[in-house]
Structure 1
């Protein structure tokens, strides 16, 4: 017999479990299906474990600057196995918290693999054997590492991000295929602990989807820390001859790199394979589910959010989409604005971007003005020994409405929240300038960047006339 629910959600990652909680708050009888661990990729194999490693790496790097602060530590060192244990402990604590929230909200958690067999129908197997009926079904199935068609990608020692996160030993040398967010974050961690890292990126620059100046500055910082970077480098094959050999083409020349391990970090793909019974599939494109503005598919009662849609694959985007979709199901006005979704990179310094870049404005024919403040003049940056960084803002010409923001500095991922609010509410430069930001803080850089629009930045030397 099939169990009846108002909403059945497939996937208990950030998009799924947060949608389930909001549905419960709105009075919906909700089931949440998960074949692995609650929290999904973000909590178990993505955001949380990588940020735990990044925090440990940042702390270790900070130790190297102790003499500049008049401090010293005898016998300083690290044990990567214990670093890994700290990471695992953080994941377990947060996962237990999510499980507690699911129980507290009266959500039915079903363990097993989901198969959508038709409109409103889901079969669960591989764990609990159950059949569920939902007035609505929400797909929040997440994503998996994408592995390109490279010969030798299946050799021992070649890993994806999930595999590398499970390693308790620090690789001695690593060829990192892909200079996107995953690649630069892992290179930050591993190079900090002494691993020899080489990045091979097919695009002309690191983080090709972000502001050009961010890419250039990040490349300089990583090179300074010993990371070898090759852009415009297309990997042809991986072979084993004692060590792993990566053969790649750069500037028309074929070259070979020897290393102990290879990490393939070329993005992720929607985790939708095997999710639908024959005839039950919604409209899809390369595994990504197609939806309308309310996240409805072309199948009655079937919705999808997050990484299953392809495109931008961010935990906070999935969470916001899940809440938006559920509130629309309940006939409510959505409480979240989806027009200002920030992208964050947790390198050191951090990187955050929201809205349009100057290049994107040019491409779209939007008249704009761009302002910038170099954080080398910021007191908090100086006293905490931060490396090069900046706050860049893009305003619409004439109206002075904020169109976009790009930050590369300490705490950029925290600071960008204020600018997301400004974008969502179409605030102008003059409205942003009215805010008194505390001193000394990194967020003072926002004030300086805004004031630069009128040549009034206090801590920037006057421009030569």
Structure 2
């Protein structure tokens, strides 16, 4: 408890303890800064507590359940699998608890002070941190804002009861028999497909002409097929209009091609994007932090705001709301405030959807590369003639490598298929290191592995593949 209103001095104040915030706090401390990290909810932020980690735990559980159900395909009699939803939730919560506890230990081990509460700026160099017990005032030399984002709430579909956001979808008290998903982006697809594997009847309402808008069309086509194989109903070019709920279910009215339709389910999950946490009582307006019309803080290539000693990272600045983007920006900002020349460069940031099959992309798409004026050459190889994919019974997918025909430089890659989320790292490194199609083809990959598909795709791009015929 601070007596009176005297300010405590620190080098760096970090607001937010998510993947961006805690990484920024740790890196700043490693560089000799005295650091205070503040979060109003929990260590680990949305990602570790109600986002990427718990969702992937549930997705993994659903995949295991589906694998057992199809064990007979490999000659294994497994019996009829059963889902004990309370145990599934225990597994998910255990993963979350282990990781958040680990982050807490990392902060402590790096001598980062942690305060559970809110922050309110007093001026450009002072802030009040407060909770129900105390309200100390701190004077800081530098500040990194990493307050993250929250699900967008539509006026027509306010959260509560049977209308839920992705947060509530991760901790439902029971496994629903049916669910409607508004939004066919990566969050809606991941959660919708997870529930469908557990046996929930899922209906997806998407406003554009395809699910996973913005991703490679071949990727969205593969995922669409998998969803339909699980009896998921997908309505594209559809606009959700209104919803009526009871204590047992919810009925959605939507419109397709001018025709109004209705569908009823146990829950209505709304996944139409996320909103930056730059409003509220933080007081950014009081210190005149520059933001755009959508509430995103404007920064330079070192994540510095218009106030030179205040930085912003993660979901509150432009770009995709990705945990790994926030972590990357965190290290840049912490190093910049310590006087290092670090700058952001997003050319090799991967995008990953943990759908079935997994989809991952890094660098330019074919369309983007052509729009940039490159003479594009493509190398593409399917999963269904790869030995490891066949032995895993996971033959849906492909690797597509985009290169500059004049220099051979790798410009981008799209991977759809088993382990795409892991395989994309090799291609990210290739782009970062300025590798060519020939470099990938000459890299010896272990056999039999899914990684060989990358080598084979490069060989196709060069015109001399071993395991397929180029026509």
The TM-score with structure 1 as length reference comes to 0.96
Compare 250-259 and 319-328 and name the one that shifted more.
250-259
1:280 aligns with 2:280: no
1:54 aligns with 2:59: yes
Q: Whole-Å Cα distance in 1 between the matches of residues 115 and 182 of structure 2?
A: 37
* Structure 2: runs of 5 or more not aligned: 1-5
1:324 to 329, 332, 348: 332
Q: Whole-Å Cα distance in 1 between the matches of residues 110 and 309 of structure 2?
A: 23
2:140 to 134, 142, 155: 134
Partner of 1:218 in structure 2?
A: 223
Compare 108-117 and 194-203 and name the one that shifted more.
108-117
- Any residues of structure 2 matched to 1:351-390 within 5 Å, and which? 351-390=359-398
Q: Whole-Å Cα distance in 1 between the matches of residues 284 and 96 of structure 2?
A: 33
- Any residues of structure 2 matched to 1:40-119 within 5 Å, and which? 40-74=45-79, 76-119=81-124
* Structure 1: runs of 5 or more not aligned: none
Q: Is the 8 A contact 1:349 1:387 kept in 2?
A: no
Q: Whole-Å Cα distance in 2 between the matches of residues 181 and 70 of structure 1?
A: 34
Q: Whole-Å Cα distance in 2 between the matches of residues 330 and 240 of structure 1?
A: 54
Q: CA deviation at 1:364?
A: 3.2
- Any residues of structure 2 matched to 1:259-298 within 5 Å, and which? 259-274=265-280, 275-276=282-283, 278-285=285-292, 286-298=294-306
Q: Secondary structure at the match of 2:21?
A: helix
Q: Is the 8 A contact 2:309 2:337 kept in 1?
A: no
Q: Is the 8 A contact 1:356 1:405 kept in 2?
A: yes
Q: CA deviation at 1:117?
A: 2.2
Partner of 1:239 in structure 2?
A: 244
Q: Secondary structure at the match of 1:210?
A: coil
Give the paired residue count. Answer: 462
Q: Secondary structure at the match of 2:213?
A: coil
- What do the CA deviations read for 1:10-34 (whole angstroms, capped 9, x no partner)? 0000101011111111111111011
- Any residues of structure 2 matched to 1:303-314 within 5 Å, and which? 303-314=311-322
Partner of 1:350 in structure 2?
A: 358
Q: CA deviation at 1:334?
A: 2.9
Q: Is the 8 A contact 1:269 1:310 kept in 2?
A: no
RMSD: 1.6
Partner of 1:406 in structure 2?
A: 414
The TM-score with structure 2 as length reference comes to 0.95
Q: CA deviation at 1:303?
A: 0.6
Q: Whole-Å Cα distance in 1 between the matches of residues 285 and 298 of structure 2?
A: 17
2:198 to 178, 193, 197: 193
- What do the CA deviations read for 1:119-167 (whole angstroms, capped 9, x no partner)? 12121122441111211110000110012232x4345200000111121
Compare 126-135 and 95-104 and name the one that shifted more.
126-135
Q: Is the 8 A contact 1:10 1:34 kept in 2?
A: yes
Q: Whole-Å Cα distance in 1 between the matches of residues 264 and 415 of structure 2?
A: 35
- What do the CA deviations read for 1:185-230 (whole angstroms, capped 9, x no partner)? 0012100000000100111111111111111111111111111111
Q: Is the 8 A contact 1:160 1:265 kept in 2?
A: yes
Residues 1:41 and 1:303: Cα distance change in structure 2 (over 3 Å): same
